[in-house]
Structure 1
């Protein structure tokens, strides 16, 4: 039976992924920080898929020892990890000079280092078995820098570079690495993010409706099934991913004009 481990699996995209894999009959292990939320998710999924289908572990992925220990316990209970999805993440927007060092570091440690910690826990075993799939969840902000998202963009750009280098190392050993770049998505975190999003970022990012988390999760699962390396959502992110060096100069020119208009005021 397939064992899927999802970090950040208690809400948003991670929870939507957990529902898909539980429906498929997989054994699902979920890592997140808040135990009470994890317990509620476990109860929800148990109603339709049985009490033994989902394992939960409270852990902060920014802490390597916590993450590795939690994943070890999941593998002891459900067997070796077949699919790892690193969905845990945090976003705290704000201009660089007003963003505290703690907020900046928290995003780097959770979004980037937290993914690396989870991968480190399963990668050696996957190599030894010559089988396994790893999906790293980046962001559209990992394809182009956005005003007010210096820390978040840095962490998500780093994931892309990590994925590219790791793919080269992993492929000869039968381990498939993927990275995806979701757009704004309807999650509890997105609602909190909007409260602090700078007006300059709102103008740049436009009024495009966020994607439902279920739609994003469905596309991620299909990409894992096919073994796709990069997964883009919508034409804009596809263009950035495939033709970034051509598209970005125009987009940055347009962003700069929009930001200058806001700075001048009415």
Structure 2
């Protein structure tokens, strides 16, 4: 039976992915910072998606702390067996213009979104390589394909994930381990609701024109991509073009963004 470990598994895309894997009969380990949402998620997976309580394990840990996430994943493996699929969905976003963003906020996003993913991967990768099986799924963002006003730290962390995923893919394939990186657009999650309240007006002008996806739709596309052993998983034509033809397309997108921002400022 497949054992799927999901960081950030108590809500949003992580929980949506857990729901899909629960229907497929997988064992599920969910990791997040707070226990109450994890317990609620576990009950939902049993009541709504037919998972067995004994096939669900929950752990509280902050992915930004390497020792904490390493220990948490170790306990998941002890409870449900070796990790077959790792999904790194834990993330944080705190939008603000760079001059207004504190060093702590900048560092928090980098440590959670990028380093947190690296910590989780490091906890499972050696065993996957030894067993010559397994798949690692990193959740980047559409903001990992193009810079967005007010998202300097978030974009940096998500861009870094792509570079990490590309390099790791080359190494992992030598050991029979698969790697995927996905670039979701704005997605309807509890975190997105908080983000919208803090999003700078200039960012809303360019990002608000795109309707957000549901977490369930994003999760379905990710699972389909993993099953197809795809490395890059895109959502919609614009993100596909940015991902595949970024150097050619990005100047046009930047031009449009700059004009929209200037209009929003009355220039």
- Determine helix, strand or coil for the equivalent of 1:157: helix
CA-based RMSD of the aligned residues comes to 0.9
- Determine helix, strand or coil for the equivalent of 1:85: strand
Counterparts of residues 67-216 of structure 1 (less than 5 Å): 67-216=69-218
Contact 2:3 2:81 in 1 (8 A): yes
Using the alignment, how far apart are the partners of 1:56 and 1:130 within structure 2? 26
Using the alignment, how far apart are the partners of 2:182 and 2:74 within structure 1? 25
Which residue number corresponds to residue 7 of structure 1? 7
Alignment size in residue pairs: 265
**TM-score, L = length of structure 2:** 0.97
Residue 246 (1) aligns with residue 248 (2): yes
Which residue number corresponds to residue 20 of structure 1? 20
Using the alignment, how far apart are the partners of 1:255 and 1:237 within structure 2? 15
1:259 deviation in Å?
A: 1.7
Using the alignment, how far apart are the partners of 2:106 and 2:256 within structure 1? 26
- Determine helix, strand or coil for the equivalent of 2:83: coil
Q: Which range moved further: 40-49 or 87-96?
A: 40-49
Using the alignment, how far apart are the partners of 1:50 and 1:176 within structure 2? 27
Using the alignment, how far apart are the partners of 1:235 and 1:168 within structure 2? 26
Using the alignment, how far apart are the partners of 1:229 and 1:208 within structure 2? 25
**TM-score, L = length of structure 1:** 0.98
Deviations 1:175-210 (A, max 9, x none): 011100000000000000000111111111142211
Structure 2 residue runs of 5 or longer lacking an equivalent are none
Using the alignment, how far apart are the partners of 2:252 and 2:152 within structure 1? 20
Which residue number corresponds to residue 256 of structure 1? 258
Contact 1:22 1:53 in 2 (8 A): no
Structure 1 residue runs of 5 or longer lacking an equivalent are none
Contact 2:55 2:80 in 1 (8 A): no
